[in-house]
Amino acid sequence: MPLLPLAGGAIIALVAATFAFPWLEFVLTLAIAKGLAALGVAILLRGGLISIGHAMFFAIGAYATAFAMRDFGITDVFALILISAVISLAAGLLIGVYVVRYRAIFFAMLNLAISMVLFSLLSKFYGVTGGTDGLRVGTPTVLGMVLEAKAVATFLFYASIAAMVLAGFAVNAYFKSPLGEALSAVHTNEIRLEYLGIPVRGVLLIAYGLSALLAGIGGTFAAMTIGHVLPDMAYWTDSGHLVLVAVLGGISGIGGPFVGAVFLELVHTLAAGVTDAWNMIVGTALLGVIFFMPKGLIGFIRPAKKGDAA
Amino acid sequence: MISYRKILCSAVAAAALLVGPALAEEKPAALGVGVFSFTSGGTAAYGKPGRDAAELMIERINAKGGIGGVPLSATYVDEGQGTEGVIAEYRKLAGDAATQVMIAALSSGNCMALAPVSDQMKIPTVGWNCDTHQLYLKDAHPYFFRPNGNTVPEFVAYAAYLIAVKPDVKRIAIINPDYAFGHDAAKIFTSAIKAFKPDVEVVAELFPKLGAGTYQTEISRLTAARPDVIFSNLWGGDLENFVRQASPRGLFRSSQAVLALGESSMQNVQIPEGVIVGVLGDGWWMSPDAAANPETKEFADAYKAKYGKWPVFPAMKMANSFLYVQAAYEKAMAGNGGKWPTREEVAGAMKGSEVKTLTGTMQTRADNDGVVDQIIGVTAKADGHDGPVIGDMVRYKGADLMPPAGEDPIAWIGTLAADLPAKLPQPGSYK
């Protein structure tokens, strides 16, 4: 697979960048966290479903981390990731049972609606969730070791890269499995799939649960990196952001959402550092990609093959 | 045309170049400051005066030779980009040795998120506007200073003032923005009113969302509830829209309004006379203390000349924060024999400091929270000033209204004596 060395090179470039500019460590950890969530959105896009509510699972992962730390005194980074993963997967399956009955605009809108309900709950239950000021997330410990905050930030950066690689391989294997192939087939012709005796809702539910799991893991990385969780994490613009990241990077491969996330975070950071009109620069960059790279950023390196989802 | 100021600046810079190296060799070429405020989105209506004041203060401090001979150089960060972006920018700036102090932030949410980062990166940070009482409630933040004070004294002060001018109040209504600041203020204000006068009834409690734009339904509800008093901590564009829509419907004639952040909007929208307003602290540039300080008058005139408006209280909070930073540097340098101080030494100098500002004093408590006086009054007109002013003023001592460090503030408000408003200075006593 000629793509593997390319991906390896990209990861080495990411690591090298943090040696040249130490402040990039935070930006990139966050970008990878969002990339994980965007990969979740990309899975659903392969099945032809657009979710404009996936930030809710990102927020569920983040708040699960904050609550586990505050209310149960769990500080180990691996335990926190595990707890958030389990909770977001459970939430994904629960919500999934309901929403996978719908397609197209109805699926998108239902996701949006449920995510906004979560957003309201997070902002209104002031005593439990800290309201719009959010909750603080302390510095986690690593396998029982109490490290300095700086060392933990570096650890989280490398851990997020490891999570990205693992997720990449796992999702790649999933796409190649019968379940993953069935997912693409849902997009092409759902009725034919039913006639073949494949339960479409089951296929979609697994995809939905998987995508929620990825978003939740992204959320827990974001919570630990930022050190603070806010209801805004579940707001619909953040969900839109995830779809944008996935489409921007390109959904034809695993790398796309990560490339899109890193690209968007970097453009944002650089633009906001230059001018108050940073929104304009970000917007122009997006228009550029959409007009001139219809396959997304990843289309640059990965020529389109027959059968790729557009 | 070359202005007098420019010549002065160049002269000072030249002098600094000539004299600088001889005095101390380790002084940097510039003192980097990170300044955080809202300059995009609806909240910029309140954030822009803060940013403007920062620019003017830097200009003024540099014209006088900077701090210890070193000119200030600011990097401005827009809080409108969201908390993640703000933290990223903060980390980037703090990682650069050229930045030695931060003035951040306007939003309470951002202050809560930045405080642990300031401790981690060991950079002294001054919270210039954020005022949530949650900030120091659970964790200590040795590098985060908030000399501008917190929500508890700010809103208890309104309750005390209201009881003093309207001792027979029975029915109150509240209309606050729907986020932590609005809910906190509602809780603090009602708890205080109930402590002073237990038979007061809350007849309506409305929380329109931030940036709602139209308030007609809320105004109808308020009119129907027939409250004696309407309390609000709406701010920025929201406050202006509310006043524009409520005035013609007679809301301010049928009820006594308390607009907690009224001063920040009274040059933009016609607030009727007799509305209780204040400045969430002592930052009223025309207060007797401020008027007695020639620096304040100079600053206000320069501000008016540069931006076309008088400095509202967010601008004064920002200006005072610069004086706070300046005082910390001077104290640190006096303490180490005139050498350029490290970040640690500057934070050490801020600890427990008491700084004379343009409008009063900022006193830093042991937990790094600030104690400032609270000025409250009513909107009025004055001869010889082109704009509304505040009349019937009172200046409460900050310490009288501040809960002790570490104590649950809401429970503390419940313990306030009913005769406290009678014991405090009376409305109109500050002139």
Confidence of residue B50 (pLDDT cuts 50, 70, 90): very high
**Domains contained in chain B, CATH given:** 4-149+287-371 (3.40.50.2300), 152-282+373-423 (3.40.50.2300)
What is the pLDDT, as a whole number, of residue B247? 92
User: What pLDDT sits at residue A285?
Assistant: 83
HSE on the CB side for B361, CA within 13 Å? Answer: 12
Share of chain B above pLDDT 90, in %: 68
Cβ contact, residue pair B40, A134, below 8 Å: no
Q: What are the tens digits of pLDDT across the range A234-271?
A: 999 889 889 888 888 887 778 889 988 998 888 888 88
Instruction: Compare CB distances from B91 to A23, A222, A228 and report the shortest one's residue.
Output: A23
Residue B24, pLDDT score: 43
* A206: pLDDT strictly greater than 50: yes
Q: What is the pLDDT of chain A when averaged over all its residues?
A: 87
Give contacts of A27 with chain B, Cβ < 8 Å. 88
Q: What is the pLDDT of residues A7-24, one digit of tens each?
A: 888 888 888 888 888 888
Beta bridge partners of B74: B33
Instruction: Give yes or no for B211 touching A (CB within 8 A).
Output: no
Q: How many domains does chain A have?
A: 1
Residue B356: Cβ-neighbour burial (10 angstroms; 0-12, 13-18, 19+)? middle
In what helix (H) or strand (E) does residue B77 lie, and over which residues does it extend? strand B72-78
Q: Which residue of A has its CA nearest to B120?
A: A149
| Residue A247, in any domain of the structure | no
pLDDT digits (tens, 9 = 90+) for B223-272: 999 999 999 999 988 999 999 999 999 999 999 999 999 999 888 888 99
pLDDT of residue A211: 95
Is the pLDDT at A63 greater than 60? The verdict is: yes
| pLDDT value, residue A302 | 58
* Owning domain of residue A216: 24-235
pLDDT at res. B17 = 45
State the pLDDT at residue A283: 85
In sequence order, which residues have a C-beta less than 8 Å from that of residue A70 and are 6 or more positions away?
Answer: A135
At B203, which helix (H) or strand (E)?
Answer: strand B201-206
Q: How many CB atoms lie within 10 A of CB A111?
A: 26
pLDDT of residue B323: 94
Tens digit of pLDDT for each residue in B262-317? 999 888 888 999 999 999 999 999 999 999 999 999 999 999 999 999 999 999 99
Q: Which of A28-37, A281-290, B391-400 has the lowest mean pLDDT?
A: A281-290
Average pLDDT, chain B: 89
Residue B18's region, left for phi above 0, alpha for psi from -120 to 50, else beta, is alpha
**Residues in chain A within 8 Å Cβ distance of B92:** 23, 269, 273
Please judge whether B78 and A27 are an interchain contact, meaning their C-beta atoms are less than 8 angstroms apart: no
Closest CB from B83, B95, B117 relative to A22: B95
In chain A, whose CA is at the least distance from the CA of B95? A23
Is A261 part of any domain? no
pLDDT of residue B15: 47
B19 pLDDT band, cuts 50/70/90, is very low
Give the pLDDT of residue A183. Answer: 87
Q: Which of B48, B51, B84 to mutate to test the interface with A (most CBs of A within 10 A)?
A: B84
Confidence of residue A307 (pLDDT cuts 50, 70, 90): very low
Of B85, B108, B179, the CB nearest to A268: B85
Q: What are the DSSP calls for B86-144, one per residue?
A: HHHHHHHHHTSTTEEEEE--SSHHHHHHHHHHHHHHT--EE-SS---TTTTTS---TTE
Residue A310, in any domain of the structure: no
Q: Residues of B with CB below 8 A from A269's CB?
A: 85, 88-89, 92
Read off the tokens for B292.
């007695």
Question: Which of the given ranges, A9-23, B32-46, B314-328, has the highest pLDDT on average?
Answer: B314-328
Query: B386: which residues sit within 8 A by CB, 6+ positions away?
Result: none
Instruction: Report the alpha-carbon distance of residue B44 to residue B402 in Å, rounded.
Output: 29
Q: What is the mean pLDDT of residues A47-59?
A: 91
ipTM of the complex: 0.73
Contact call for B183 and A131, based on CB within 8 A: yes
- The least confident of A163-177, A228-242, A279-293 is A279-293
In this prediction, residue B160 carries a pLDDT of 94
B132 touches A: beta carbon within 8 Å: yes
Confidence of residue B321 (pLDDT cuts 50, 70, 90): very high
**Is A250 inside any structural domain?**
no
B107, B133 in Cβ contact below 8 A?
A: no
Question: A226, B83: Cβ pair inside 8 Å?
Answer: yes
* pLDDT confidence band for A100 (50 / 70 / 90): confident
Instruction: Report the alpha-carbon distance of residue B128 to residue B321 in Å, rounded.
Output: 6
Which of B40, B81, B179 lies at the smallest CB-CB distance from A132? B179
Give domain status of residue A216, yes or no.
Answer: yes
The mean pLDDT value for B2-24 works out to 47
Whether A93 is covered by a domain: the verdict is yes
pLDDT at A308 over 50: no
- A288, part of any domain: no
Torsion of CA B95, B49, B235, B371, to 10 degrees: 70
> Which residues on chain B are in Cβ contact (under 8 Å) with A130?
134, 180
Q: Is B89 in Cβ contact with A126 (below 8 Å)? A: no
Average pLDDT over residues B162-190: 93
Per-residue pLDDT band for A282 (boundaries 50, 70, 90) equals confident
Alpha-carbon Rg for chain B, nearest whole angstrom, is 22
Q: How far is CA B376 from the centre of its chain?
A: 14
Cβ contacts (< 8 Å) between B55 and chain A: which residues? none
A14: in domain: no
DSSP string of chain A, one letter each residue: -THHHHHHHHHHHHHHHHHH-TTHHHHHHHHHHHHHHHHHHHHHHHTT---S-THHHHHHHHHHHHHHHHHH---BHHHHHHHHHHHHHHHHHHHHHHHTT--HHHHHHHHHHHHHHHHHHHHH-HHHH-GGG-EE--PPBBTTB---HHHHHHHHHHHHHHHHHHHHHHHHHHHHSHHHHHHHHHHH-HHHHHHTT--HHHHHHHHHHHHHHHHHHHHHHHHHHHSEE-GGGGSHHHHHHHHHHHHHH-SSSSHHHHHHHHHHHHHHHHHHHH-TTHHHHHHHHHHHHHHH-TT-GGGGTS---TT---
Return the C-alpha torsion angle B103, B107, B111, B112, nearest 10. 180
